């Protein structure tokens, strides 16, 4: 089986390609290197943009399975240019659906649930509140009748691989960094819920699903946490940490808890890496000075794309 990993040079792709290499899969990474200046992992690589339909459609003909990770990710990053977000997150997936009949593994997001109460499963009502969530949901819909498995990911955390950038704009990663650097973190509200998932667990679910027959939508998460409880969890690793809570409304209104039973029942998947493990990973990176500057734009999707707006142009 030949596998094409679209967007495989990024944060999630780093872990995915590590596992593919370990298991000796025949795969190629197709990536624009939006946040990278180089890609040195020992695997086949094609430089390309998912909006270049002529190029990617020719490439697709050579593969049996596509792992589609490519996307603009995050509410803030996707709000910079909603039209380009739609082109990348939806229209490119629509092109995939029309021009590829093999196995598709697609990354969506639990953000499609928006702001809701109760425990949400894959059949719950959807309430996308951003261009990111809206375009991901539209992409899900064009894959409905394909041989496709769609993973709605919880909020990721932790270290992926040693070749790809870490994202420092994710709640556990950024709170850990602020705790280390400032010994103080600011929480807005704090009652919002997030389902959390280590990036390596997400990659394991992807690779495990290559040879499975299941199709449809699956939630992926470790557990649901309130933002304030994540702050308290971080303080367990920084005993003198000051936590400041403010009730000032924050622009991110999402709050949702998800049910993960379907993934366990049908895919035998259970997330194993805890948020505590993720905090320790990021803490060690900072202690060992493996990240020279936490504020470097490339670690933060929205800030990077605001500064380098031309990089998302075709």
Q: Are 21 and 284 in contact (CB under 8 A)?
A: no
Q: What are phi and psi of 39, to 5 degrees?
A: -145, 110
Average pLDDT, the chain: 95
Give the residue-averaged pLDDT of 250-255: 72
Question: Is 137's pLDDT higher than 90?
Answer: yes
Res 37: pLDDT? 86
Res 211: pLDDT? 94
Range in 3-7, 25-29, 83-87, 162-166 the model is least confident about: 162-166
Res 249: pLDDT? 63
Question: Is 251's pLDDT higher than 80?
Answer: no
Give the residue-averaged pLDDT of 199-224: 97
Strands 148-153 and 216-220: parallel
Q: Nearest-CA neighbor of 113 among 254, 262, 260, 223? A: 254
Res 276: pLDDT? 98
Question: Is 247's pLDDT higher than 80?
Answer: no
Question: Is 250's pLDDT higher than 60?
Answer: no
| 265 Cβ contact list (under 8 Å, min separation 6) | none
For 214, other C-beta atoms within 10 Å of its C-beta total 11
pLDDT digits (tens, 9 = 90+) for 152-185: 999 999 999 988 899 999 999 999 999 999 999 9
Res 248: pLDDT? 60
Res 164: pLDDT? 87
Range in 32-36, 258-262, 291-295, 298-302 the model is least confident about: 291-295
Whole-prediction pTM = 0.95
Res 218: pLDDT? 99
Give the residue-averaged pLDDT of 189-209: 96
pLDDT digits (tens, 9 = 90+) for 268-292: 999 999 999 999 999 999 999 999 8
Strands 193-198 and 223-226: antiparallel
Res 313: pLDDT? 81
Domain ranges of the chain: 2-312
173, burial (CB in 10 Å: exposed 0-12, middle 13-18, buried 19+): buried
Domain 2-312: which topology?
Rossmann fold (3.40.50)
Place 312 in a pLDDT band, splitting at 50, 70 and 90. Answer: confident
Place 299 in a pLDDT band, splitting at 50, 70 and 90. Answer: very high
Query: What distance in Å separates the CA atoms of residue 276 and residue 28, rounded to the nearest whole number?
Result: 33
Q: Nearest-CA neighbor of 133 among 156, 121, 115, 160? A: 115
Res 311: pLDDT? 84
pLDDT digits (tens, 9 = 90+) for 34-58: 999 899 999 999 999 999 999 999 9
């Amino acid at each position: 089986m030949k596998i094409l990993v679209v967007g495989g040079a990024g944060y999630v792709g780093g872990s995915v390609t590590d596992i593919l290499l370990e298991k000796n899969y025949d795969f190629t990474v197709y990536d624009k290197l939006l946040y990278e200046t180089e890609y040195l992992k020992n695997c086949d690589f094609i430089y390309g943009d998912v909006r270049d339909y002529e190029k990617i459609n020719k490439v697709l003909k050579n593969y049996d399975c596509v792992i589609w990770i490519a996307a603009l990710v995050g509410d803030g990053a996707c709000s910079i240019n909603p039209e380009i977000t739609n082109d990348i997150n939806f229209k490119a997936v629509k092109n995939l659906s029309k021009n590829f009949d093999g196995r598709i593994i697609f990354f969506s997001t639990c953000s499609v649930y928006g702001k809701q109460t109760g425990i949400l499963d894959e059949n719950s009502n959807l309430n996308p509140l951003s261009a990111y969530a809206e375009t991901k949901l539209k992409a899900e819909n064009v894959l409905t009748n394909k041989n496709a498995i769609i993973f709605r990911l919880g909020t990721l955390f932790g270290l992926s691989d040693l070749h790809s950038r870490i994202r420092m704009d994710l709640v556990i990663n950024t709170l850990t960094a602020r705790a280390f650097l400032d010994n103080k973190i600011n929480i807005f509200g704090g009652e919002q819920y997030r389902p959390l998932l280590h990036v390596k667990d997400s990659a394991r679910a992807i690779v495990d699903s290559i040879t499975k027959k299941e199709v449809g939508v699956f939630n992926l998460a470790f557990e649901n946490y309130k933002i304030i409880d994540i702050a308290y969890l971080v303080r367990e690793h920084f005993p003198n940490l000051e936590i400041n809570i403010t009730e000032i409304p924050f622009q991110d209104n999402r709050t949702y808890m998800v049910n993960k039973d379907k993934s366990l029942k049908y895919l035998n998947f259970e997330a194993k890496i805890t948020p505590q493990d993720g905090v320790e990973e990021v803490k060690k990176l900072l202690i060992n000075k493996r990240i020279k500057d936490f504020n470097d734009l490339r670690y933060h999707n929205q800030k990077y794309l605001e500064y380098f707006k031309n990089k998302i142009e075709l």
